[in-house]
């Protein structure tokens, strides 16, 4: 949470923030929708993040960056259409999704992730990112099924 001076008294007012991680999967879009509705209900800013690990050798960095930027643009449009009053911030990161989300959640009111993303381990009921966030998140965590 960031803090800002209060309107008249100089008292500090908390700026509420909900962080959500997306990767384009259905699970992450459900997490986005839930987080956006919660942000609207609580007056929080919705902070949308996507991340990818460096080292993809089969496509260029620019292709990955463009794809991730399209994910953020689509998520921002989706929220703006369904919840036009919700302030939105966002980021695309070249780093471990777990590290990015844990860092972004520092000072947040809530971190929201989907249960499984694009990792492809069929046997996992809880994805590796959501599992690591459950162990290390610096704020309350909601994992959306």
Q: Where do the domains of the chain lie?
A: 14-144
Q: Residues 145, 56: contact at Cβ < 8 Å?
A: no
Higher pLDDT, 63 or 54: 63
pLDDT, tens digit, for every residue of 67-126? Answer: 999 999 999 999 999 999 999 999 999 999 999 999 999 999 999 999 875 554 444 444
pTM of the model: 0.84
Residue 4, pLDDT score: 47
Q: What percent of the chain has pLDDT over 90?
A: 69
- Which residues are CB-contacts of 113 (< 8 A; sequence separation ≥ 6)? 20, 21, 28, 31, 101, 127, 129, 130, 133, 141, 142, 143, 144
Q: Residue 54 above 60 pLDDT?
A: yes
User: Would you identify the CATH topology of the domain 14-144?
Assistant: Rossmann fold (3.40.50)
Q: Kindly indicate the confidence band of residue 128, based on its pLDDT and cuts at 50, 70 and 90.
A: confident
Average the pLDDT over 30-53 and give the result: 96
The Cα–Cα gap between 101 and 80 comes to 22
Q: Kindly indicate the confidence band of residue 15, based on its pLDDT and cuts at 50, 70 and 90.
A: confident
> Tokens standing for 19?
């962080």
Q: Residue 7 above 90 pLDDT?
A: no
50 backbone dihedrals φ, ψ, rounded to 5°: -135, 150
What is the torsional sign of CA 92, 102, 108, 104? negative
Cα of 31 vs its chain's centroid, Å: 9
CA atoms within 13 A on the CB side of 91: 15
Sort strands 110-114 and 12-15 into parallel, antiparallel or unpaired: unpaired
Q: Which helix (H) or strand (E) holds 13?
A: strand 12-15
């Amino acid at each position: 949470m960031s803090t800002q001076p209060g309107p008249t008294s100089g008292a500090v007012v908390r700026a509420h923030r909900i962080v959500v991680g997306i990767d384009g999967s259905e699970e992450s879009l459900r997490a986005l929708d839930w987080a956006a509705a919660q942000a609207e209900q609580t007056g929080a800013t919705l902070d949308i993040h996507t991340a990818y690990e460096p080292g993809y050798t089969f496509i260029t960095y620019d292709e990955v960056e463009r794809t991730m930027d399209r994910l953020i643009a689509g998520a921002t449009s989706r929220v703006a259409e369904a919840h036009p009053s919700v302030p939105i911030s966002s980021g695309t990161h070249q780093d471990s999704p777990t590290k990015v989300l844990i860092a972004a959640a520092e000072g947040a009111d809530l971190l929201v992730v989907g249960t499984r993303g694009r990792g492809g381990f069929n046997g996992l009921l809880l994805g590796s990112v959501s599992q690591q966030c459950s162990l290390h998140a610096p704020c309350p965590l909601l994992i959306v099924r």
